[in-house]
């Protein structure tokens, strides 16, 4: 598990996920974004996507396309797999 994500999760939750459950892309995106001190609007601008794309992904209303995942990963300086694994 990515150290940035791992260090942001309370111990009980981390223990739960360590035993085979995965963080969803929406939770990972929010954690990575917040750890970098970015708002949804700032991340959207940095990634070149609409604010609603970030909002809908974090709220679990939609899942981004591969192209959007690539933009988000580059904006957050992480691998795509850090967002979806």
pLDDT at 9: 45
What are the distances in angstroms from CA 29 to CA 5, 37, 40? 10, 12, 10
What is the rounded average pLDDT of the residues 2-29? 51
pLDDT digits (tens, 9 = 90+) for 22-50: 356 778 899 999 999 999 999 999 999 99
Q: Quick check: 1 pLDDT over 90?
A: no
Query: Between the CA atoms of 3, 22, 59 and 79, what dihedral angle is there, to the nearest 10 degrees?
Result: 50
Domains defined along the chain, listed by start: 3-84 (1.10.260.40)
């Amino acid at each position: 598990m990515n150290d940035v994500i791992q260090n942001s999760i309370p111990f009980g939750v981390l223990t739960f996920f360590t035993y085979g459950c995965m963080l969803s892309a929406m939770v990972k995106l929010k954690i990575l974004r917040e750890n970098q001190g970015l708002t949804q609007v700032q991340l959207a601008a940095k990634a070149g996507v609409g604010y609603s794309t970030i909002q809908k992904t974090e709220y679990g209303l939609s899942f981004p396309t591969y192209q959007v995942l690539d933009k988000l990963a580059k904006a957050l300086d992480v691998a795509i797999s850090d967002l979806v694994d």
